[in-house]
Structure 1
Amino acid sequence: MEELRVEANGHLGPIDSSRIPRYAGAATFARLPRLDQVKQADIAVVGVPFDSGVSYRPGARFGANHVREASRLLRPYNPAWDLSPFEEVQVADAGDMAVNPFNINEAIETIQQNALDLTASGTKLVTIGGDHTIALPLLRAAAERAGGPVAMLHFDAHLDTWDTYFGAEYTHGTPFRRAVEEGILDTESICHVGTRGPLYGKKDLDDDHRFGFGIVTSADVYYQGVREVVAKLRDRIGNTPLYVSIDIDVLDPAHAPGTGTPEAGGITSRELLEIIRGFRGMNLIGADVVEVAPAYDHAEITGVAGSHVAYELVSLMADNAAGGGSRNGYAAQALEAPRPSQPQDIESDQESFE
């Protein structure tokens, strides 16, 4: 079947849904062209079907294609940004990385090399997992491309800074401890967002504080509101090259049931989207959306959330490439947040982070 695509500004865009039904044809992200169909991509969406690092429910290896299927409903104009991201830059689907499901160390090396290959000519990545183990090699590649440690905002119900599981150093609960140890994170510019739930002990928080992480809990988002949280995150990160890692379980199970380790009391999908929109103008160099497990996803709720989160990250990258800041989309409202009276660390309802 002939692919009737939207084209603008020399960029090959999604299949024209006014001429070919959304449910027809191959499911690339947002029905965009494959990477091999364009000369060069400014932004590539790539899948990593890997979940051998999970500690509870498996299934995130199927997450990338699940998000792609849900993304059929995405439309090319984003009113939040007053932007048509696929017209401003060339965005393409790079398919899936082929990684060894039986050897975590080899898989990590493969992901890192593939990320370096994909970004060799300046392409930025939005990666869809897969479990959170994949964030470590992606951060390694991002830091190498940035020429040094990068800032990170980590959206998750969990800290993911534990040491080992069953003696294994590389799992979905350990990537950011390893990243700190390897010196690829700017420890003045890292923060968890949306954490909640029980921990193994107070030492978990003490270790996390020692690594340099700030914490914005899901309760902080509720009590302080999106605008205040965005203001504090922007103060903490500044213009440092930023990597954003989003575990879909940052959302409450009501908004994302299809994940491996759900925790009650999470933020809403609306809050997550509005926080991302509040990053307008920040120096986003890469991002991932992980832990979507379709086997537990009722009515595709989690897939829809994941597809919209990835779309907002692509929009932020496209807005930056287009100059940003001059449009009147309602994303600009998040930038009207009340600023803290003086520079300060992220505050939290956790006593150890006062």
Structure 2
Amino acid sequence: MNTKDIKQPATAFASPRFCNTGNFMRMQRFENAEGLDFAIYGVPFDTACSYRVGARFGPQAIRNISVMMKTNNPIHEVNILDYLKGGDLGDVNVVPGYIHPTYDKIEEFATEIVEAGAIPIALGGDHSITLAELRAIAKKHGPVSLLHFDSHADINDEVFGEKYNHGTPFRRAIEENLIDPNKSVQIGMRGSIYDAGEFKLAKSLGLTTIPSHKVREMGIKETIRMAKEIIGDNKVFLTYDIDFFDPAYAPGTGTPEVAGFSSLEGIQFVRELKELNFVGMDMVEVAPPYDHAEITSLLAANVVFEFLSVLAIQKREAQMKG
């Protein structure tokens, strides 16, 4: 082999050492999203965390344990790669410590996926990254519906006097007209909060928030029925914070809240979403330094797999209709 053909690894000045460490489910690595139905990419950024950091290692950890995943979903009786073409595009080369340059890089990366006609699926990273993803989505699709699974609403105006934090992305998304709050739903909010009127604030912003205790009263199917009714046939971005789950099932996260949902319940929510028109998704706030036996990362990988299964079912049904 000619030494000129040997590619040097990326310098750590351009690509942080925790970027580009593996592929999701051992899928094929692609240079771009041309011709793909979906494209998975990592956003290893946690500078906007308000308590425990470590989510920068989330994409790497999710990919590492995703080798446990097989391509067949027995519940839906579908092999995701029989109907979908997709793979892993690697990571956004974030700028550790600097949120706005990182936002620019995320938006550029995601825009290329969207423009290629693929559905972008991001592995975070803290929840601040979703704002940049939505900027890319909105450039193509206009304001979309947000379907948000989380223990926190993330609609603060400021955190520590700053407008851009993992507790503020959806306030900014509404202000930037990236999402349609009147067709958006937040599910699972719980725990102590800074402002006793937070649910009223969400309503004043136009959002429908279904807190955890209401979900328990209504049940999963009724909660999703209500969400589908609000969203209708609008295009949807799914954002899934791992702290939606109870920390007994997902301890590896930066801001855990007790009395959350089980692994099975969290996955059942995704399995009920087959009728929605998705244009993007992310899985955020996996913090491996606080994980045990990779159970949080494994759960995150399974949520992404269930989402891919939904996309595969939709593609299969579209093909059957001709």
Task: Note the C-alpha offset of 1:206.
Answer: 2.6
Q: Report the counterpart of residue 205 of structure 2 in structure 1.
A: 211
Distance 1:192 1:116, change over 3 A: same
Measure, in 2, the Cα distance between the counterparts of 1:51 and 1:194. 22
Q: Report the counterpart of residue 185 of structure 2 in structure 1.
A: 191
Task: Please tell me the root mean square deviation across aligned C-alpha atoms, in Å.
Answer: 1.8
Q: Report the counterpart of residue 129 of structure 1 in structure 2.
A: 124
Cα deviations by residue, 1:296-349 (Å, 9 ceiling, x for unpaired) = 0011110110000011111222222232698xxxxxxxxxxxxxxxxxxxxxxx
Gaps of 5+ in 1: 1-25, 327-354
Q: Report the counterpart of residue 155 of structure 1 in structure 2.
A: 149
Q: Report the counterpart of residue 16 of structure 1 in structure 2.
A: none
Cα deviations by residue, 1:165-216 (Å, 9 ceiling, x for unpaired) = 1221111000000001111111211111111011112332332111111112
Measure, in 1, the Cα distance between the counterparts of 2:181 and 2:283. 22
Cα deviations by residue, 1:15-65 (Å, 9 ceiling, x for unpaired) = xxxxxxxxxxx8411111101399632111110000000000000000001
Measure, in 2, the Cα distance between the counterparts of 1:89 and 1:323. 12
SS in 1 for 2:90: strand
Which residue, 215, 218, 228 being the options, matches 2:222? 228
Measure, in 2, the Cα distance between the counterparts of 1:202 and 1:220. 17
Q: Report the counterpart of residue 250 of structure 2 in structure 1.
A: 256
SS in 2 for 1:195: coil
**TM-score computed with the length of structure 1 as normaliser:** 0.82
Q: Report the counterpart of residue 120 of structure 1 in structure 2.
A: 115
Report the residue type matching 1:50 in the other structure. F
Report the residue type matching 2:152 in the other structure. H
SS in 1 for 2:57: helix
Measure, in 1, the Cα distance between the counterparts of 2:214 and 2:74. 27
Q: Report the counterpart of residue 340 of structure 1 in structure 2.
A: none
Cα deviations by residue, 1:235-282 (Å, 9 ceiling, x for unpaired) = 111110000101100000011000000000111121111111111121
Measure, in 1, the Cα distance between the counterparts of 2:248 and 2:210. 20
Measure, in 2, the Cα distance between the counterparts of 1:133 and 1:208. 18
Q: Report the counterpart of residue 265 of structure 2 in structure 1.
A: 271
**TM-score computed with the length of structure 2 as normaliser:** 0.90
Q: Report the counterpart of residue 301 of structure 2 in structure 1.
A: 307
Measure, in 1, the Cα distance between the counterparts of 2:279 and 2:118. 9
Q: Report the counterpart of residue 92 of structure 2 in structure 1.
A: 97
Gaps of 5+ in 2: 1-20
Measure, in 2, the Cα distance between the counterparts of 1:162 and 1:217. 16
SS in 1 for 2:60: helix
Percent identity over paired residues: 38
